């Protein structure tokens, strides 16, 4: 009614100004437009419902695709983790290791070092004098059972050795004319607990062949302010079975192969001694040390000074109180540093040769060089 009344009001004004306008035609057009809007609104609601259903289906079908660019609670934007030009507190070395979304990138199948466990499914074919084709599940005792052969112990057998173990057991019963083929069909998911200085400690599901990076990323990554990137341990039955230094992976891509077991615990230790390095270096980070004392050469190996770096300002605190010392880069290599020191690498060399370009009405070379302490008046 509001739309019709508004159009009627317009039509009266138009009629008084221009008598050729037909009021009935305007009313019919208004009613037609109103009806068309109602139909369009119903279609839009229907389309929205179908679209919501489709999006819900896509969410269940592919979580990784829908979270493209979306940060989950506890995840950090890589822009917040990359080195800053501020001298106050650089980010820790390795902080951007968990900025990606690779926890949704899974590799199908298992590697040859995966240890068989209860619940895993194994397909076994026998042909020749005996024909058999069975899919067997490893029981709680770690065995699979073959008729006329008996139980075969597969628990803790590497996936790459399963065929040899089964073949040896079958050949102990059928000496001749029997061929064996074994294939590990699927591995049973396991539970891994993640504790210590991580963003979201707790219990997580995965596969035994998943890497430690996968599980740490599931937990939101290492707490960059409190967690250690150099002391990550895997605990099994109360004992440490693996120690991992993520600096090795960051620097050289080296990550030890390791097969998890159900109820393993990943423990991220507290952050160790640190030294901040900023300024004329390729890697302006807060570096974690393996020991409290370290030489300047070891720190510079991590930070990688730029080619024009010449001096280092060292600031810190000793037993006598706060201190600062200004060293040449060469002298800083032998200087003993300790946790809490801050290094500012600087380009503090004054140019000894100046290149000068001459333009305009001048007869002679367009470029000249001045070597200190020469002046331009020399030329």
Comparing CA positions, the residue from 8, 53, 6, 52 lying closest to residue 27 is 8
Using the Cα atoms of residue 5, residue 6, residue 8 and residue 13 in order, give the sign of their dihedral.
positive
Task: Give 213's contacts (C-beta < 8 A, 6+ positions apart).
Answer: 97, 102, 249, 255
Q: What is residue 210's predicted lDDT score, i.e. its pLDDT?
A: 85
According to DSSP, the β-strands at 121-128 and 143-146 are unpaired
| H helix and E strand count, the chain | 8, 19
| DSSP H stretches of helix in 296-372 | 296-303, 329-332
Integer Cα distance of 364 and 240 in angstroms? 77
Integer Cα distance of 250 and 96 in angstroms? 10
Number of CB atoms found within 10 A of residue 292's CB? 11
Supply φ then ψ for residue 325, to 5 degrees: -145, 140
Burial classification of residue 52, based on how many CB atoms lie within 10 Å of its CB (0-12 exposed, 13-18 middle, 19 or more buried)? exposed
Integer Cα distance of 118 and 48 in angstroms? 47
pTM beyond 0.95, yes or no: no
Integer Cα distance of 56 and 45 in angstroms? 16
Q: What is residue 59's predicted lDDT score, i.e. its pLDDT?
A: 38
**H or E, element range at 65:** helix 63-66
SS (H, E, C) 92-106: ECCHHHHCCCHHHCC
Return the bridge partners of 126, or none: 132, 180
- Strand stretches in 113-177, DSSP E: 121-128, 132-137, 143-146, 150-153
**H or E, element range at 50:** helix 23-61
Question: Which value, to the nearest 10 degrees, does the dihedral of the CA atoms of residues 60, 64, 66, 71 take?
Answer: 120
**H or E, element range at 246:** helix 246-252
According to DSSP, the β-strands at 342-346 and 336-338 are unpaired
Find the helix packing angle between 23-61 and 2-17, rounded to 10°. Answer: 140
Q: What is residue 26's predicted lDDT score, i.e. its pLDDT?
A: 45
Walk along the chain (379 residues) and give the pLDDT tens digit of each residue: 444 343 333 343 444 444 444 444 544 554 555 555 454 444 544 444 444 444 434 434 444 444 455 665 555 554 555 444 444 678 889 888 888 766 565 555 566 777 888 888 899 999 988 888 989 999 988 899 998 889 999 988 888 889 999 999 998 888 888 899 998 887 778 899 999 999 889 999 988 888 899 999 988 889 888 899 999 999 999 999 999 999 999 988 888 878 888 899 999 999 999 999 999 999 999 999 988 888 999 999 999 999 889 999 999 998 889 999 999 999 999 999 999 899 999 987 765 566 677 777 766 777 666 666 666 555 5
Integer Cα distance of 344 and 276 in angstroms? 8
Comparing CA positions, the residue from 229, 186, 230, 235 lying closest to residue 207 is 186
Integer Cα distance of 117 and 191 in angstroms? 13
The token pair that represents 61 in the structure block: 């079908």
Give the three-state DSSP class for 183: strand
Number of CB atoms found within 10 A of residue 85's CB? 8
Integer Cα distance of 69 and 108 in angstroms? 24
Give the three-state DSSP class for 325: strand
Q: Is the distance from CB of 276 to CB of 311 less than 8 angstroms?
A: no
Integer Cα distance of 47 and 152 in angstroms? 58
Integer Cα distance of 158 and 226 in angstroms? 37
């Amino acid at each position: 009614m509001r739309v019709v009344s508004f159009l009627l009001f317009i039509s009266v004004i138009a009629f008084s100004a221009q008598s050729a306008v037909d009021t009935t035609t305007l009313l019919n057009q208004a009613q037609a437009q109103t009806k068309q809007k109602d139909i369009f609104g119903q279609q839009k609601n229907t389309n929205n419902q179908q679209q919501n259903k489709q999006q819900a289906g896509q969410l269940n079908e592919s979580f990784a695709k829908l979270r493209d660019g979306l940060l989950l609670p506890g995840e950090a934007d890589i822009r917040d983790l990359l080195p800053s030009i501020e001298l106050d507190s650089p980010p820790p070395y390795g902080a951007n290791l968990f900025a990606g979304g690779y926890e949704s990138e899974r590799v199908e199948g298992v590697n040859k070092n995966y240890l068989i466990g209860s619940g895993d499914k194994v397909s076994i074919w026998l042909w020749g004098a005996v024909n058999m084709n069975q899919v067997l599940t490893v029981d709680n005792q770690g065995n699979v059972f073959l008729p006329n052969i008996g139980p075969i112990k597969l628990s803790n057998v590497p996936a790459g050795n399963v065929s040899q173990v089964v073949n040896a057991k079958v050949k102990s019963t059928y000496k001749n004319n029997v061929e064996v083929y074994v294939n590990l069909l699927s591995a049973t998911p396991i539970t891994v607990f993640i504790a210590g200085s991580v963003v979201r400690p707790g219990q997580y599901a995965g596969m035994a062949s998943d890497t430690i990076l996968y599980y740490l990323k599931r937990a939101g990554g290492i707490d960059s302010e409190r967690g250690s990137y150099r002391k990550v341990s895997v605990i099994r039955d109360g004992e440490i079975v693996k120690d991992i230094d993520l600096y090795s992976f960051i620097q050289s891509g080296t990550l030890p192969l390791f097969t998890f077991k159900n109820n393993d615990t990943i423990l991220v230790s507290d952050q160790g001694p640190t030294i901040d390095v900023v300024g004329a270096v390729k890697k302006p980070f807060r570096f974690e040390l393996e020991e409290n004392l370290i030489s300047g050469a070891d720190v510079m190996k991590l930070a990688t000074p730029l080619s024009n770096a010449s001096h280092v300002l060292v600031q810190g605190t000793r037993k006598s109180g706060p201190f600062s010392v200004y060293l040449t880069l060469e002298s800083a290599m032998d200087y003993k540093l300790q946790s809490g020191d801050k290094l500012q690498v600087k380009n503090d060399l004054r140019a000894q040769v100046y290149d000068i370009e001459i333009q305009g009405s001048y007869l002679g070379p367009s470029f000249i060089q001045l070597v200190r302490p020469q002046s331009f008046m020399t030329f």
